[in-house]
């Protein structure tokens, strides 16, 4: 049981890290796009 929980926690942490990296990349793309659109609107 403890080993199973340990493996689950490792998988959960790795997924969280991957989501953070992926979110940062997508947020950078969205941020650059919104920055460009706001610049053109202004």
- Segment 15-40, tens digit of pLDDT: 989 989 888 888 888 777 776 766 66
Sequence-distant (6+) residues with CB within 8 A of 8 are none
Using the predicted structure, report yes or no on whether residue 42 has a pLDDT greater than 60: no
Full-model pTM: 0.53
- pLDDT score at 40: 67
Question: Which two structure tokens, joined as six digits, stand for 3?
Answer: 């080993």
- pLDDT score at 9: 95
**Once rounded to an integer, what is the mean pLDDT over residues 3-20?**
93
- How far is it, in rounded angstroms, from Cα 25 to Cα 21? 6
């Amino acid at each position: 049981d403890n080993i199973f929980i340990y493996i689950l926690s490792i998988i959960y942490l790795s997924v969280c890290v991957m989501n953070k990296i992926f979110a940062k990349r997508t947020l950078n793309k969205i941020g650059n796009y919104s920055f460009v659109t706001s610049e053109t609107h202004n």
